[in-house]
A and B are shown apart, each in its own frame.
Chain A
Amino acid sequence: MGARHYLLAITAAVAFWPLSAGAADTIKIGFPIPLSGPTAVYGKPVLAGAEMAVQEINVNGGVLGRKLELLSRDSKASADEAVRLAREMIIKDSVDFLAGTLTSAEAPAVSTVAKENKIVFVAPTSKSTILTDEKHIHPYIFRVASNTDVEGLAGATLMARWKEVKKVATIAPDYAYGRDSIAAFIEALKKQRSDIQIVDQQWPKLGEADFTPFITAQMSTQPDAVYCSLFAGDFVTFTKSATPRGFFKAINNRMIDGAEIGTPDLAQALGPDYPYGVIGDAYDPVIWHGTEPPEHKKFIDDLKKFTNSQYGSGWSIVGYQAIYALAEGIKKAGNTKSDAVSKAMLGMSFDTPVGKRSFSEKSHETFAPEYWGVMVKDPNYPFAIMKDPELLPASFPTH
């Protein structure tokens, strides 16, 4: 019996052996983001964009004379893993700021950690309004991404243009982003085309392995067009099941998807199986038609070099923007205390390769528009690209 207690004491003592290294002189940014699983096809390029921004900033002398250090971790697109990592990075690694997360399951959860620990958190991709609505807003959360209201308005505008469409169906992942994006879309659509009827709504789970029952159920209601919020690996899995069943043929490819399926990242993931003819969107179409802003051209060229890829990515831009926005905030505040930085970032404008953005005073977000267009085959590229990208919505009432 004694041995047991003896061991318990030793174990207890050893367990408290200090495990963390001391703080260095860098400004640490904790960056949990999905690096595995279906959403990694979006998560990895977002991280790459952030890493490139950090490298650029450090090469140019850092911020307030100190270098930035990015601590990235795989959040597996799971809210509880993101929270655990965020807390660990705050408690163990003493990060100064948080950025990252991909989904609107992770971001709102990490936001609560940021709030409790009073650390500025810049979310590059989460769109659900739950992140910054009245109930959840706090001084330390900032959103670089667009939001579901903006997306819904853009999607509805495009859907409204199809005069012959009278019956619309929706399919979206059953969590905050899916629910909010569909709700916003329907509300905006009703205002523009009160004659359109929503005939079916399907809600598979995020990360669903088999979309077949949802596909067949939706097809049976014979919609004229579909608004879809499936993204990343889910969209790949969905398409592979839907195409052989004639899903796209039945609606004449009249699908609009506002979850950034217009990025080369997703187009490459699907390759020849991409459902050409659908409308997708992206923060950055990458392959630019018409006059390309020189900042964007430089950004993509640098990105291609940095990631050693032939075609760049449509997602890296938001990771890049998040870091630059944060750096701008630190500079403006003159120090790295989150209280000062958060005050500095209210209403702050910052430059991006696709134009100026600013954080609204009330909801700390940018209401960023995105580029929308039909995805077509192009002889110059082995994957689908966006035809005539259009920046939508043309205007959005920001408060």
Chain B
Amino acid sequence: MTTQTTLQPAAPIGVAREGNWVRRIPWTLIVFLVFAVVPWVGSRYDTFLAEQIAIDALFAVSLNLLLGTTGLVSFGHVAYFGVGAYVCGILMKTYEVPFLLAFPAAGLGTALFALVSGYFCVRLIKLYFAMLTLAFSQIVWAVAYKWNDVTGGDQGLPEIPFPDLGWMSAIPGLGDLRTSDQFYLLALAIVAVSLAILRRLVRSPFGRVLTTIRDNPERAAFIGVNVRAYQLAAFVVAGTFAGFAGALYGIFSRGVFADYVFWSKSAEVMIMAILGGMGYFWGPPVGAAVLVWLSQKITAYTEYWPFMLGTILLVLLFALPGGIVGGLAALWTRLVRGRRRA
């Protein structure tokens, strides 16, 4: 088993380090509050961007459960995003099922699909695993693209209704907001809760087994871990949360279309995770934020965004393999060490 020197392990918990004051500040709470006040403080476009970032962050973190935590390179993660989006969208639009039911149903549907596909995927070694995840995701795409009656085919499913948000008027201050802003807050809450759950999971004994499997599957098997079962569990969890992200995205973008499930979207979310730093839990959200922001900035000036994205990826691969967060963490450590030595 080759040692994975380029992957940064998750930082050990409870290790005392210089700069402890930084750790005591409740960063996640601050960020959440910053996001929460956007509808009041920012423009409609700011809310639009913030929502995009939040949903992409959840999608990217779900992928990282496989990629960074368990060491499973999935090239078909968008399949679960797509299944979630379509299940929720079809239920809400075609069958007028309320969001309260459609959303969990989307999660359930995605989980089932992840269970079935994952069962086959985890039995394969790295390269074949990646190919099979890609194959499953293209199947989802082919079905979405061709099954006109159910998925709309080329037409897609435009006009996904907003959930019934009347209850929000009961909360002081929220009644005056536009429906889309109310939905933004709901989506943000769902994303925050999901991220909290995932973070818990990664730091739990379950998560530690996953990182053990990532670092040395033979040793894990040797000490009695059922490697396949844990990998499948990670697969299902990752898929389910991707499905939640997809369901939210369908409502956010007011429609679900076959292009959402094309394989290049899997590559995009992988870039988000790696750009941020796949060795850190908060790496992917940072990557998502940076990528969304960059793409907006750059497409305003040039149509050659893919070229810029490719260049960024090259820089990442050759110069900054730990991602943004990894690079900053290294920088911080060096600064701190430097101060100590002085």
The chain A residues found within 8 Å of chain B, CB to CB, are 1-9, 11-16, 18-20, 74, 78-81, 83-84, 87-88, 91-92, 104-105, 108-109, 112-113, 115-116, 130, 174-176, 205-206
- Asked whether B75 is an interface residue with its Cβ less than 8 Å from the other chain, the reply is no
- Complex interface: chain B residues within 8 A of A8 (CB): 27-28, 31, 282, 285-286, 289
CB A11 to nearest CB in B, in angstroms, measures 5
Q: Do B257 and A18 touch across chains, with their CB atoms under 8 A apart?
A: no
Q: Do B27 and A5 touch across chains, with their CB atoms under 8 A apart?
A: yes
Residue of A nearest to B281 (CB): A4
- Complex interface: chain A residues within 8 A of B239 (CB): none
Known A20-B43, A175-B148, A175-B154; judge A4-B329 contact (CB<8 A).
Answer: yes
Give B166-184 interface residues, CB cut-off 8 Å to A. Answer: none
Give B323-342 interface residues, CB cut-off 8 Å to A. Answer: 324-325, 328-329, 331-332
Q: Do A4 and B297 touch across chains, with their CB atoms under 8 A apart?
A: no
- Complex interface: chain A residues within 8 A of B41 (CB): 16
Give Cα A346 to B23, complex, Å.
Answer: 63
- Complex interface: chain A residues within 8 A of B286 (CB): 4, 7-8, 11
Q: Do A5 and B25 touch across chains, with their CB atoms under 8 A apart?
A: yes
Give Cα A174 to B155, complex, Å.
Answer: 10
- Complex interface: chain B residues within 8 A of A19 (CB): 45, 49, 296-297, 300
Q: Do A15 and B50 touch across chains, with their CB atoms under 8 A apart?
A: yes
- Complex interface: chain A residues within 8 A of B154 (CB): 79, 105, 174-176, 205-206
| 16 further interface pairs, Cβ-Cβ under 8 Å (given A12-B31, A15-B53, A91-B45) | A4-B280, A6-B22, A6-B27, A9-B30, A12-B35, A16-B49, A79-B155, A80-B253, A83-B158, A92-B48, A108-B158, A112-B255, A130-B155, A176-B154, A205-B145, A206-B154
Give B265-320 interface residues, CB cut-off 8 Å to A. Answer: 277, 280, 282-283, 285-286, 289-290, 292-293, 296-297, 300, 303
The one of A3, A12, A74, A78 that contacts B325, using a Cβ cutoff of 8 Å:
A3
CB B189 to nearest CB in A, in angstroms, measures 17
Q: Do A112 and B155 touch across chains, with their CB atoms under 8 A apart?
A: no
A sample of 19 cross-chain residue pairs with beta-carbon separation below 8 angstroms, ordered by A number, consists of A2-B332, A3-B331, A5-B27, A8-B282, A9-B27, A16-B34, A16-B46, A18-B46, A19-B297, A80-B257, A83-B158, A83-B254, A87-B253, A91-B45, A91-B48, A92-B45, A104-B155, A112-B255, A175-B154
A-B contact count (CB 8 A): 146
- Complex interface: chain B residues within 8 A of A78 (CB): 257, 259
Q: Do A16 and B38 touch across chains, with their CB atoms under 8 A apart?
A: yes
Known A8-B286, A16-B46; judge A174-B34 contact (CB<8 A).
Answer: no
- Complex interface: chain A residues within 8 A of B324 (CB): 7
Residue of A nearest to B46 (CB): A16
- Complex interface: chain A residues within 8 A of B38 (CB): 16
Residue of B nearest to A111 (CB): B158
Q: Do A11 and B300 touch across chains, with their CB atoms under 8 A apart?
A: no
CB A160 to nearest CB in B, in angstroms, measures 30
- Complex interface: chain B residues within 8 A of A92 (CB): 45, 48
The one of B34, B254, B328 that contacts A4, using a Cβ cutoff of 8 Å:
B328
Known A3-B331, A5-B282; judge A105-B156 contact (CB<8 A).
Answer: yes
Q: Is the interface of B mostly helix, strand, loop or mixed?
A: helix
- Asked whether B100 is an interface residue with its Cβ less than 8 Å from the other chain, the reply is no
Q: Do B49 and A15 touch across chains, with their CB atoms under 8 A apart?
A: yes
Known A4-B328, A9-B34; judge A80-B260 contact (CB<8 A).
Answer: yes
- Complex interface: chain B residues within 8 A of A3 (CB): 22, 325, 328-329, 331-332
Q: Do B297 and A112 touch across chains, with their CB atoms under 8 A apart?
A: no
CB A3 to nearest CB in B, in angstroms, measures 4
Q: Do A108 and B155 touch across chains, with their CB atoms under 8 A apart?
A: yes
Q: Do B50 and A84 touch across chains, with their CB atoms under 8 A apart?
A: no
- Complex interface: chain A residues within 8 A of B146 (CB): 174, 205
Q: Do B260 and A13 touch across chains, with their CB atoms under 8 A apart?
A: no
Residue of A nearest to B252 (CB): A87
- Complex interface: chain B residues within 8 A of A16 (CB): 34, 38, 41-42, 46, 49-50
- Complex interface: chain B residues within 8 A of A1 (CB): 11, 23
- Complex interface: chain A residues within 8 A of B35 (CB): 12
CB A91 to nearest CB in B, in angstroms, measures 5
Give Cα A5 to B328, complex, Å.
Answer: 11
- Complex interface: chain A residues within 8 A of B50 (CB): 15-16
Give Cα A130 to B332, complex, Å.
Answer: 58
Q: Do B254 and A12 touch across chains, with their CB atoms under 8 A apart?
A: no
CB A274 to nearest CB in B, in angstroms, measures 27
Q: Do A12 and B158 touch across chains, with their CB atoms under 8 A apart?
A: no
- Complex interface: chain A residues within 8 A of B34 (CB): 9, 12-13, 16
Known A108-B158, A109-B155, A206-B154; judge A11-B290 contact (CB<8 A).
Answer: yes
Give B98-155 interface residues, CB cut-off 8 Å to A. Answer: 145-146, 148, 153-155
- Complex interface: chain B residues within 8 A of A130 (CB): 155
CB B254 to nearest CB in A, in angstroms, measures 7
Q: Do B289 and A11 touch across chains, with their CB atoms under 8 A apart?
A: yes
Q: Do A174 and B153 touch across chains, with their CB atoms under 8 A apart?
A: yes
Residue of A nearest to B329 (CB): A3
Give Cα A115 to B159, complex, Å.
Answer: 9
- Asked whether B19 is an interface residue with its Cβ less than 8 Å from the other chain, the reply is yes
- Asked whether B44 is an interface residue with its Cβ less than 8 Å from the other chain, the reply is yes
The one of B259, B292, B293 that contacts A81, using a Cβ cutoff of 8 Å:
B259
- Complex interface: chain A residues within 8 A of B282 (CB): 4-5, 8
Known A19-B300, A206-B154; judge A7-B328 contact (CB<8 A).
Answer: yes
